[in-house]
Amino acid sequence: MAVPRAALAVVVLAAGLPAVHGVARTGETFCRLPEFTGKSVPDGPYLTDTDVSPRWIYPYPAPDEREPSSQQRLDFAGFPSVAALDTVGRDGAPVRKLLVTYTTNVDRVVTLTNEAAVSEDGGVTFGPSNRTPLREAPIELRDGGLLALEYYLRRTGPGTATLGVLTSRSPDDEGWVRREATVTSPDEQADGGAAHGLPIQLADGTILFTAYIRQGGTGSYQPEVFASEDGGRTFARRGVITPPDPPYVYNEGALAQTLDGTLLAVLRRDGVPPSTLHQSRSSDGGRTWSPVQPLRIEGQDCLVRGVAPRLLLMPDGVLVLSAGRPHNWLAIAPDGIGEEWRRQTVTYRNSDGVRDVHGSSGYTAIAAVGPHRLIQVFDNCKLPGVNSDGLLNETACPAHGKFENGGWYAIKRRLFTVVTPGPGLLDLAALQRGGALKVDTDMRWTTPAHPRTGPAGAFDGSTDYWSGAVAAGPGRYVLHLDRPYAINRIGISLRPGHPASARVYVSADGRSWGRPAVTIEDRTDYAMRYHTVDRTGAHVMIVTEPTRDCDAEIGDSCSMLNELELYGR
């Protein structure tokens, strides 16, 4: 079968991944993959899923036929990415806009073609797809703009390359501006580098991304971190996560800032099959990294198989890892740091009973759609490669009619809830809409450039930087509930990425406040942190202390109540 799309012209680059040779080493054991049940467990956090089954994103609408026709098999869709972006609807209400991008070409180093689908109801439904220049979904920057990276680095000299960068003004702006950023390294690079996963932005504005770079001297790949201090116009190598370890090499990497502010990288290791996942940590912004260690699942002494890891720090502080091959799965680090992973659970499989790596590519993506809610997107069948004779190589997803979920090249999604210990979460937004909650605050700073700032931003379900209540100086934020509650747990996030202090009080009458129920001193938050309390009252007050080095549009002094949760009965 000849490659059908004329747009798939091969560019002048080496193959994206090193070849895999050899057999698994004697004595290595690989972790079992338990199936997802959706049932609760006594010592959470755990995953629940309200969907009866995964939903289709593409093809759209979902096909009625179990198997595609031979022509439909040429309609490629794979390697998805997803972003959840804060915006507001026409009525001013907060909206979490989901953008899913995916590749529509064969699995080869080619001129990439991509499409995107959008959801504005938390990922429950998606509309039809449209062509997009985005290979990976974008991230939202501190200035309110969006930034996305292209995949391949193009070598321009011994230690220089260029990388396509796409920017947009807002989540609602469909116009993307492309420019080529200069990427520099102190070492000689060969052709073949690729940026994998989503970039991140640190509190000082620095943008980081990981790439696996083929070295000029050895031809081997190594994962590196590149940093931009000028908004993505130029990047310089900040650190090497790990050099090759023959016969192994490390390539695809996920990068996240964890609950304690350290950077965690989860890496794919190749060289002796199967691919396995390993991790490393940086405490200095990506300059130096701890020795790479195998990723470990609690209670198991085994290697974790997988490719294309993705990391997500949820607003509730739980760190989630998504990967696949075989099948697709999720794992959870309740500590928000990733020192120990729990509940590695299969979330989607499309097995044919022939080989466990047949079916989905294992390339997944995840995003938070609420403080305890996430979406995982994945493909149904791995995209074909191309043989030297120009014909499609579909050995990973043969058209033999044996797959559990058919042989479609498709993009699907599942929604999960990360349930944390402690029942009785009060839905503050719903209480306010129903008149059972009134807010009295001087934290009312806002601007059209950041429409999610304002009093309601403190319980909008998002811990993005500009989704909170903001004051130009100290702040006072009081919730008046319709009745007394026995409050046993308070979740709170202050100014993300910056040391901040606050006190939380609970009062029966809204006049006498007594001693604080929670005191926070110079704590740097990247998500909510939870405090066990034992107070009864109908009024809750948060007093925020001013912080320095504030955003220019606010002023010299500011404070933020980024997100707040109350638990009680």
Name the more confident of 113 and 91.
113
pLDDT at res. 340: 85
Range of lowest pLDDT (16-25, 207-216, 308-317, 412-421): 16-25
pLDDT at 12 over 50: no
**What pLDDT sits at residue 535?**
97
Could you tell me where the DSSP H helices lie in 328-401? none
Q: What is the mean pLDDT of the chain?
A: 91
Rounded mean pLDDT, 230-237: 97
* Residue type, position 73, single letter: R
Position 69 confidence tier, pLDDT thresholds 50, 70, 90: very high
| pLDDT for res 218 | 86
**What does the angle CA 357 – CA 14 – CA 278 come to, to the nearest 5 degrees?**
45
CA distance 234 to 156: 14
Confidence band for 42, pLDDT divided at 50, 70 and 90: low
Check whether 139 has a pLDDT greater than 90.
Answer: yes
pLDDT digits (tens, 9 = 90+) for 165-214: 999 987 766 689 999 999 999 999 998 899 999 999 999 999 999 999 99
Asked whether the predicted pLDDT for residue 242 surpasses 50, the reply is yes
Average pLDDT over residues 251-265: 98
Q: Tell whether the model's pLDDT for residue 35 goes beyond 80.
A: no
Pair 255, 312: CB distance under 8 Å: no
Q: Write the CA distances from 498 to 46, 261, 494, 558, integer angstroms.
A: 30, 10, 8, 11
Q: What is the DSSP letter of 42?
A: T
**pTM of the predicted structure, to 2 decimals:** 0.93
Pairing verdict, β 55-58 and 411-419: antiparallel
Residues 442-452 have a mean pLDDT of 95
Angle value at C-alpha 397, between 54 and 148, nearest 5 degrees: 65
Residues 235 and 227: beta-carbon distance below 8 Å: yes
Residues 6+ apart with CB under 8 A from 136: 81, 101, 148, 149, 151, 195, 197, 198
pLDDT over threshold 80, residue 557: yes
Using a 10 angstrom Cβ sphere, with 0-12 exposed, 13-18 middle and 19 or more buried, the burial of residue 300 is middle
**Which single residue is written with the structure tokens 């939903």?**
55
The answer to whether the beta carbons of residues 265 and 240 sit under 8 Å apart is no
For range 400-428, the mean pLDDT:
91
- For 486-502, write each residue's pLDDT tens digit: 999 999 999 999 999 99
Beta bridge partners of residue 365, listed in sequence order: 377
Q: Which residues pair with 4 in a beta bridge?
A: none
pLDDT at residue 271 above 70?
A: yes
What per-residue confidence (pLDDT) applies to 230? 97
